[in-house]
Amino acid sequence: MASYPTSRPTIYDVAAEAGVSKSLVSLVLNDSDMVSAPKRDAVLAAIERLGYRPSRAATALAAARTRTMGVLIDDYRNPWFVDLLSGIREVVEPAGYLLTVAERRTSSADEALEGFLGSRVDALVVAGELASNHADLGIPTVVVGGRDHDVSGADHIASDEAAGVRLVLGHLSELGHLRIGHVTGRGGSARRRLAAYVDGMADLGDSPRIAGGDQETNEEGGYAGTIQLLDAYPEVTAVFAANDTMALGARAALKEAGRRVPDHASLVGYDDSLLARARFLDLTTVDSRNDEVGLATGRALLRRLAEPSIAPLSVVIAPRLVVRSSTARISAQLA
Amino acid sequence: MASYPTSRPTIYDVAAEAGVSKSLVSLVLNDSDMVSAPKRDAVLAAIERLGYRPSRAATALAAARTRTMGVLIDDYRNPWFVDLLSGIREVVEPAGYLLTVAERRTSSADEALEGFLGSRVDALVVAGELASNHADLGIPTVVVGGRDHDVSGADHIASDEAAGVRLVLGHLSELGHLRIGHVTGRGGSARRRLAAYVDGMADLGDSPRIAGGDQETNEEGGYAGTIQLLDAYPEVTAVFAANDTMALGARAALKEAGRRVPDHASLVGYDDSLLARARFLDLTTVDSRNDEVGLATGRALLRRLAEPSIAPLSVVIAPRLVVRSSTARISAQLA
DNA sequence: CTGAAAGCGCTTACAG
DNA sequence: CTGAAAGCGCTTACAG
């Protein structure tokens, strides 16, 4: 039986209700300090009584800015973006900006970007992979993470994945592991971690042992990749997976192969996800500090909004090793 | 060195470029069938050349609708919303609607709803818990899931959680389990599953064994709740957790207690998340069929947009039991 | 199809 | 502070 009102109150209704001019209402809405307290209170009370909400469309059209920033993520099911989002929000919300999120999985990156540009967002965050290079989008843009593809003129903020991998290899070698296998997968992040693994193994003076390059970077891929790894390199005493979800799959493969973690094999993931924290896995992993990445992203956005023409910025955030019970000193029988 | 153009092309520029009137451009943008093919092509070519994107703000303001629907979810980290979103999108996107998502975790439900109303979304989906009852919001609204709190005039779409719990108890009792413990937690979903569990145990002729009512419905809560459960009811032969994430915690608690799954205890979750599907857990669970819930939600939205004044609709979707290796026939020693 | 017009709900700048 | 005005980029309806 509900019927939907076709006309919500406008700024005119508020002005009439408060007994002031339309201009004054606008000043109050924009937090101007040229409004006396009594007038301001009268307007606010009228707004409250009428249940007035400014039309974002009208505001955006008149002010020629939306006070909204678009964030393009990979996939809602890959929750690394959550901390990133919190970090960005923490910086830009106090400055009066709203965040809107789009997912590349359900609409191509191009469609999503087009959507943001059509919405006239004031700035853009591209988090994750891009299918191609893009010309300057005409608004402040921050690329977070990968640099396989780029947006020209954009600022770049990334967690230092090479440093993260070095932390992993350093930790494992301190525990006596040298025959460290790596389960990788498709995608830029896995590729960067793989490259750092190869470099790191050279530094350790051992040869790389790699499997899973054709796999997706999910549980299934981690399982299949680890099967391949153990098949090709049965001598490995430690498995480093490209991310925590793959490590979850690796754990199942190790179990099937009769190798208990950590006694018969150490296992390391990457991302410090909720998964890694779960007691049943209790996975040694790397925290990319995505909240810090988010804070830096937010600051870069505000900075470029204030000064559009400064040279592109590049920030790298140091990751942190999180040691849990999935890694242990190599046992006498394996060494 | 990037500089951001202050003026993007407008409909006037397109009209000039194509050598047609502004009205014609508008007709083309709105897919009118009163436009000849050559004129349409000329306009589309001009749009392409200029890189024109209609301003959503101007369109929304002039047309008095945004072609956007708001979806309010609980928490990005709880991925049950992903399938729901896909289902909704599948129905409403062909009808020309865009979805925008807001999360209650980072802004209260009220703030998020206010935000949607300020954005003048054409319709609203409230997925999950609401802190209080709401008056008619003035736009078509669908409440998905819980009915603890309501929006008056809203349609309701929900997975039949009571039926899901009956599937679980039926499955376990068929396997010979009667002393079935339940690990619950805070929140409406856990409460509904708990109530159904209590009813179901009465039907089975056994008394309920419950723990964890004060816990959060996460891995940590599942762990702590299961410790409590095993402490209070060491005789349980099966543990039913309020969701998969709690089941993950339960698995760790069972392991610590020296009870192997499924030989010394069967374990069941709820949600059929990626977690349940992972080989290392391989968890028997309930698929709420959130994609179906999403499809029904999308259809309800379009229906009410077409006919605002029909009586509220209530749809219940039948869930499905997913049997994996975490449940097994009760062993002779336990029976 | 064109062209002129009004209007959506705001912001902005300005004279008073 | 008020009031009148112009404008943001579209849609809509209408006369021709």
Residues 8-27 (B) near nucleic chain C, CB < 7 A:
20-24, 27
**How far from each other are the two terminal CA atoms of chain B, in whole angstroms?**
76
Residues B216 and B134 in one domain: no
Closest nucleotide to A53: CA versus each C1': C9
Please give the structure tokens belonging to residue B19.
């050598």
For residue A181, the distance in angstroms to the closest alpha carbon of chain B comes to 20
Query: What is the per-residue pLDDT for B148?
Result: 81
In chain A, the residue whose alpha carbon lies closest to the alpha carbon of B64 is A6
Query: What is the per-residue pLDDT for A119?
Result: 92
In chain A, the residue whose alpha carbon lies closest to the alpha carbon of B86 is A106
Residues B193 and B104 in one domain: no
Residue A219 belongs to domain with CATH number: 3.40.50.2300
Residues B155 and B172 in one domain: no
Residues 44-73 (B) near nucleic chain C, CB < 7 A:
58, 61-62, 64
Residues B178 and B252 in one domain: yes
Query: What is the per-residue pLDDT for B21?
Result: 85
Rounded to whole angstroms, how far apart are CA atoms B321 and B288? 9
Considering only CB atoms, which chain B residues are within 8 Å of A117? Answer: 53
Contact A285, A247 (CB under 8 A): yes
Closest nucleotide to B19: CA versus each C1': C2
Residues A104 and A200 in one domain: no
Considering only CB atoms, which chain B residues are within 8 Å of A281? Answer: 280
Residue A329: count other Cβ atoms within 10 Å of its Cβ.
12
Residues A171 and A31 in one domain: no
Rounded to whole angstroms, how far apart are CA atoms A278 and A239? 19
Cβ of B106 within 8 Å of Cβ of A86? The answer is: yes
Residues A178 and A275 in one domain: yes
- Per-residue flag: B86 CB under 7 A of strand C: no
CA A75 / C1′ C10 distance in Å: 36
In chain B, the residue whose alpha carbon lies closest to the alpha carbon of A153 is B2
Query: What is the per-residue pLDDT for A217?
Result: 95
CA B219 / C1′ D1 distance in Å: 59
For residue A243, the distance in angstroms to the closest alpha carbon of chain B comes to 15
Contact B208, B197 (CB under 8 A): yes
Mean pLDDT, chain A, integer: 92
Cα–Cα distances (Å) from A209 to A192, A235, B44, in that order, read 16, 10, 54
**In this structure, is residue A326 part of a structural domain?**
no
Cα–Cα distances (Å) from A213 to A92, A229, A230, A242, A266, in that order, read 38, 11, 14, 10, 21
Nearest CB neighbour to A61, from listed B5, B58, B66: B58
Query: What is the per-residue pLDDT for B111?
Result: 86
Mean pLDDT, chain B, integer: 92
For residue A60, the distance in angstroms to the closest alpha carbon of chain B comes to 6
Cβ of B138 within 8 Å of Cβ of A4? The answer is: yes
Considering only CB atoms, which chain B residues are within 8 Å of A139? Answer: 4
Query: What is the per-residue pLDDT for A78?
Result: 86
Please give the structure tokens belonging to residue A141.
């843009």
- Per-residue flag: A11 CB under 7 A of strand C: yes
Nearest CB neighbour to A223, from listed B139, B279, B281: B279
Rounded to whole angstroms, how far apart are CA atoms B162 and A309? 59
Cα–Cα distances (Å) from A105 to A72, B186, B274, in that order, read 10, 32, 17
**In this structure, is residue A61 part of a structural domain?**
no
Order of strands, edge to edge, in the sheet holding B266-268?
A: B209-211, B180-183, B238-241, B266-268
Query: What is the per-residue pLDDT for A111?
Result: 86
Considering only CB atoms, which chain B residues are within 8 Å of A5? Answer: 138
Max intra-chain CA distance, chain B: 87
> Which residues have a Cβ under 8 Å from the Cβ of B133 and sit 6 or more positions away?
B149, B150, B151, B152
Residue B326: count other Cβ atoms within 10 Å of its Cβ.
24
> Which residues have a Cβ under 8 Å from the Cβ of A182 and sit 6 or more positions away?
A193, A194, A197, A208, A209, A210, A211, A229, A239, A240, A241, A242
**In this structure, is residue B221 part of a structural domain?**
yes
Residues B83 and B117 in one domain: yes
Q: Which residues pair with B98 in a beta bridge?
A: B68
Residues A220 and A148 in one domain: no
Query: What is the per-residue pLDDT for A35?
Result: 83
Residues B201 and B270 in one domain: yes
Please give the tally of structural domains in chain B.
3
Please choose, from the candidates B81, B328, B11, the residue with its C-alpha nearest in 3D space to the C-alpha of residue A77.
B81
Cβ of A56 within 8 Å of Cβ of B4? The answer is: no
Q: Which amino acid is at A150?
A: D
Nearest CB neighbour to B309, from listed A2, A218, A309: A2
* Residue B273: strand, helix, or coil: coil
Residues A105 and A145 in one domain: yes
Query: What is the per-residue pLDDT for B322?
Result: 98
Q: Is A298 exposed, middle or buried (0-12, 13-18, 19+ CB in 10 A)?
A: buried
Considering only CB atoms, which chain A residues are within 8 Å of B58? Answer: 57, 61
Q: Which amino acid is at A321?
A: L
**In this structure, is residue B63 part of a structural domain?**
no
Beta-sheet strands, E only, within chain A: 68-73, 98-103, 123-127, 141-144, 155-159, 180-183, 209-211, 238-241, 266-268, 285-287, 314-317, 320-322
Instruction: Tell me the HSE value of A92 on the side-chain side, using a 13 A CA sphere.
Output: 32
Considering only CB atoms, which chain B residues are within 8 Å of A79? Answer: 76-77, 79
Query: What is the per-residue pLDDT for B173?
Result: 97
* B220 secondary structure, DSSP code: H
**In this structure, is residue B62 part of a structural domain?**
no
Segments in B278-333 forming alpha helices (H): 290-306
Please choose, from the candidates A274, A288, A277, A289, the residue with its C-alpha nearest in 3D space to the C-alpha of residue A325.
A277
Closest nucleotide to B30: CA versus each C1': D11
Residues A140 and A151 in one domain: yes
**How far from each other are the two terminal CA atoms of chain A, in whole angstroms?**
76
Q: What stretches in chain B show pLDDT beneath 50?
A: 1-6
Residue nearest to nucleotide C13 (CA to C1'): A23
Q: What stretches in chain A show pLDDT beneath 50?
A: 1-6
Query: What is the per-residue pLDDT for A34?
Result: 81
> Which residues have a Cβ under 8 Å from the Cβ of B254 and sit 6 or more positions away?
B226, B230, B239, B260, B261, B264, B265, B267
Residue nearest to nucleotide D6 (CA to C1'): A62
**In this structure, is residue B280 part of a structural domain?**
yes
Query: What is the per-residue pLDDT for B256?
Result: 97
Please give the structure tokens belonging to residue A104.
């590349």
Residue A125 belongs to what domain range? Answer: 68-160+290-318
